[in-house]
Amino acid sequence: MKKIYYDSWIANHLLFKNYGTITLAAWVCTRYKTKEEMPQRVRNHECTHARQWCECMLVSGVIIWVLTLFAGISPWWFALAFLMFYILYVLEWLVKLCFYGRNAYRHISFEREANAGENDETYLENSGYFEWVKYILKE
């Protein structure tokens, strides 16, 4: 499901100074040089994001597939499925920005789930799918 790219060009050149790792689709790009250098907590956090991306892509892909079959929409809409995690992430951030200002990032449901499970090495194996949904309205 995931592939971690250590000493990634993307992480080294495109991330802000305070950030060292980013999940793009099911791939994790990091500034850490080796697996041993990367803390397990960070690996758990980013792998949770990779699973969230898969969940959003699969559900939106099924919905688009049904709409393609029965409503006659263009198959080009399937490209939207690949981006659905990021669309939901940004939309939620914009809404939370109105309520939390600079702290909006910490209140995004995807981040809250990843933070909640980052210290549990078996979180992905033991948690249910779509756990991030619980955090949308929960304070």
pLDDT at 1: 47
Judged by DSSP in three states, 62 sits in: helix
pLDDT at 97: 96
pLDDT at 120: 94
**From CA 80, how far away is CA 61, in angstroms rounded?**
8
**From CA 65, how far away is CA 84, in angstroms rounded?**
14
Per residue in 22-72, pLDDT (tens digit) is: 999 989 999 999 999 999 999 999 999 999 999 999 999 999 999 999 999
Q: How confident is the model at residue 107 (pLDDT cuts 50, 70, 90)?
A: very high
| Mean pLDDT, rounded, of the chain | 93
**Closest to 127 in 3D by CA, of 54, 56, 48:** 48
pTM: 0.91
Q: Which residues of 62-83 are buried (b: 16+ CB within 10 A; e: fewer)?
A: eebeeeeeeeeeeeeeeeebeb
Per residue in 70-91, pLDDT (tens digit) is: 999 998 999 999 999 999 999 9
